[in-house]
Amino acid sequence: MKHFLRMLIQVCLYFYCKFLWRCLKFVMRKLTGRCELQRICYNTKPGASRTMKIETSLRDSKSKLLQTSVSVHPDAIEKTIEDIMELKKINPDINPQLGISLQACLLQIVGYRNLIADVEKLRREPYDSENPQHEEMLLQLWKFLKPNTPLESRISKQWCEIGFQGDDPKTDFRGMGLLGLYNLQYFAERDAAGAQQVLSDSLHPKCRDITKEEISKFSKAEWEKKRMDKAIGYSFAIVGINITDLAYNLLVSGALKTHFYNIAPEAPTLSHFQQTFCYLMHEFHKFWIEEDPMDIMEFNRVREKFRKRIIKQLQNPDMALCPHFAASEGLINM
């Protein structure tokens, strides 16, 4: 009974707030002579702040035209804006900037939805060793990461050298499908020096000096382990697939809207997503070294801590994950 009453109160509050909000919008329009879309475009700076407010306003509107505008085909955006201006009785000759601002926002909103679809399609496509294109991408990954070391055969223990679990990498792509391979290959090709350095560090982690304060916290067994062992490395390719999963979930949850709406002047593309993956790989690598885990069994703890840090950064509407490496050249357009 208590649960039912709580639900009833929540429903009543929802409709009350919704009614109150509509009344407030009506009053604001009468006072300012502008609709909510105009007020957002004129009072909010371009970027994630404006686009996300426009998206919320359109999605929560009682007008079917406005609700569906966030999912129209990119080619229909211009016509949709004309229809919105007509519905809101806004003269485009008097308010030319409004149409331009709305178009930029809708391109980002629709583009983000389409990007999710493109990424999902790659994630659902399994790696096929009978597909020449898939095989070629895999072999290119080796060439980009190990340019001076020929691969002796397609099925080989050498794959472990770049962080796969066995002699045939296809089994490691099951979780993320082709998306994992696409991201790894993009990173290795577009930022070859950076990717090779991360790979090298993952195989040969550097020793870290241990302070006296840290020594006092260790048990004798832990101290002996720290004293004898180098910093813990990780499997480059497996971590890349894991970070692909992180990037995918950030995208689908909407957390990456802040980043993409701030860096993509129009529709975010697959290249923007892959470039973001490269950034996450670099940042996770630095974070792993900073955390200095005792062993690889701490990977999930470190990854979760890293995920929370990225999400916290993305909660800032002005946030843009600003890459500083080769993969970002020509993609970022503030």
Tell whether 25 and 44 lie within a shared domain.
Answer: no
Tell whether 181 and 88 lie within a shared domain.
Answer: no
User: Mind listing the pLDDT tens digit for each residue in 230-280?
Assistant: 557 899 999 999 999 999 999 999 999 999 999 998 899 999 999 999 999
Tell whether 84 and 189 lie within a shared domain.
Answer: no
CB within 8 Å of 63: residues ≥ 6 apart: 87
Tell whether 296 and 266 lie within a shared domain.
Answer: yes
User: Mind listing the pLDDT tens digit for each residue in 218-227?
Assistant: 565 554 555 4
User: Mind listing the pLDDT tens digit for each residue in 6-62?
Assistant: 666 665 555 444 544 455 444 444 445 467 888 998 899 999 999 999 999 999 888
Tell whether 78 and 190 lie within a shared domain.
Answer: no
Q: Within 13 Å, how many C-alpha atoms sit on residue 190's CB side?
A: 23
Tell whether 184 and 226 lie within a shared domain.
Answer: yes
Structure tokens at 96: 């030319």
Domain that holds residue 84: 34-113
- Distance (Å, whole) CA 280 – CA 102: 31
Among 113, 148, 181, residue at a domain's last position: 113
Which residue, among 309, 259, 262, 265, has the nearest Cα to 283 in the 3D structure?
Answer: 309
Q: Is residue 332 part of a domain?
A: no
Tell whether 297 and 153 lie within a shared domain.
Answer: yes
Contact by Cβ (8 Å): 194, 284: no
Contact by Cβ (8 Å): 106, 81: yes
